[in-house]
Amino acid sequence: MKTQLEYAREGIITEEMKIVAKSEGLSETFIQTHVAKGEIVIPCNPNRKNQKVAGIGTGLRTKVNASIGTSSDICDIDLEVQKAQAAEQEGADTLMELSADGDLDLVRRTVLANTNLPVGNVPLYQAFKETIREYNNPAKLDPEYLFDLIEKQLDDGLSFMAIHCGINLYTIERLRKQGFRYGGLASKGGTYMVAWMDINKKENPLYEQFDRVCALMKKYDAVLSLGNGIRAGAIHDSHDRAQMAEMIINCELAEIGRANGCQMMVEGPGHVPLDEIEGNIMLEKRMSGNAPYYVLGPIPCDTGAGYDHITAAIGAASSARFGADLVCYITPAEHLALPDVSDVREGVRATRLAARIGDISKYPDRRENEKQAAMARRDMRWDDLEKYLLFPEVAKGIREKQAPKQKDTCTMCGDFCAMKKGMEIFEKDITDKR
């Protein structure tokens, strides 16, 4: 079968491209052109029926990913299904199933059966967990088993995968020569692959056999998201030599993958101070030929635990502003515990808001909704205002909980309302632009 990228290069506009064009309010030709360049990807494994279609990349709304998954402390498939469904209800665009304990095949297949979102994963999680179960030693991971596992997971219907192809012996040497890091290694899959390479004194098979990875992804038209296994886990490690070495390699691999007809994304950058976010995105876009950028957070400080959904939302808004295409949410539980359903909801909401803030700065011509909301608030048309809000039910609930004496005001100001007084003064001068 052909991939979306290959169809687009032949000038064919697929049904998925048409859906993306309609949802974004853009022309079908625009979508096809940028898919052909590798600047837009569409995760849409055909093995999955009834999955939502989301375009990720140039000119499109910044998308939001939610991550779920079991751990060795909390392994409850029903809970993961509830979290997946909560993420979809709250407006996430994609979902990553990152379970690390239990019957991992069953967890993945159950989640896939209970959400319509495009689902991705990190295959190294299951590869190393199953190896540990069998041999009590992750260094005994068999590369052939890893490739077989990737295909099995794709056959189940995963539409994108974060695969750590950019870690190689050169990258590890940079870690050693710089004296490791302040924040250590933050990627579970990346860290275990580094350990495998270090113990076995071998090159990363995902890097060494990159063409084989691409062939598997192409077979299922899944998006290959080049995992950020050496991402910074502390802002003091941001853009160190190890991170930059992996970023350069991933950007090279993105170009190679596209040449092979594979849909490609690049991942990054982890913990990054706010003043470095613009430069990070500029580097990824320049070095990768404008491949879609999937950012994890980013988290611009290390002291926000308990409120890291807010910390990350600040970083995400800046990332969206400067060109990030897909943002992975962070929940209030980040760095502290496995998120529950309420954490998932808060994480998706905060990240959607951050993406909106970034998008209205990135695309000034898309601010009409904000203007309409402002005018409804000015005119105290509360029912109309709800139409333009990201979270209308939340806003309505707050207003109803503290109902005002005068229905056209709110309890913040009551009869001392600036909006009401302003309308009395300037009502005759207002030009109605609704």
134 and 204 inside one domain = yes
Answer whether residue 19 is part of any domain. Answer: no
Question: Range of 298's domain?
Answer: 48-365
- In tens, the pLDDT along 152-205 reads 999 999 999 999 999 999 999 999 999 999 999 999 999 999 999 999 999 999
For residues 393 and 355, is the Cβ–Cβ distance under 8 A?
A: no
397 and 299 inside one domain = no
Answer whether residue 259 is part of any domain. Answer: yes
Report pLDDT for 102: 97
291 and 385 inside one domain = no
Report pLDDT for 297: 87
Answer whether residue 12 is part of any domain. Answer: no
Question: How many structural domains does the chain have?
Answer: 2
215 and 236 inside one domain = yes
Answer whether residue 219 is part of any domain. Answer: yes
310 and 395 inside one domain = no
pTM: predicted TM-score of the whole model, two decimal places: 0.96
Answer whether residue 289 is part of any domain. Answer: yes
pLDDT-derived band at 432 (thresholds 50, 70, 90) equals low
414 and 295 inside one domain = no
355 and 375 inside one domain = no
227 and 282 inside one domain = yes
Distances 107 to 12, 78, 112 between C-alpha atoms, Å: 36, 9, 9
Cβ within 8 Å of residue 369, ≥6 positions away: 388
CATH for 268: 3.20.20.540
343 and 406 inside one domain = no
Answer whether residue 20 is part of any domain. Answer: no
Answer whether residue 348 is part of any domain. Answer: yes
- In tens, the pLDDT along 350-402 reads 999 999 999 999 999 999 999 999 999 999 999 999 999 999 999 999 999 99
256 and 197 inside one domain = yes
- In tens, the pLDDT along 262-289 reads 999 999 999 999 999 999 999 999 999 9
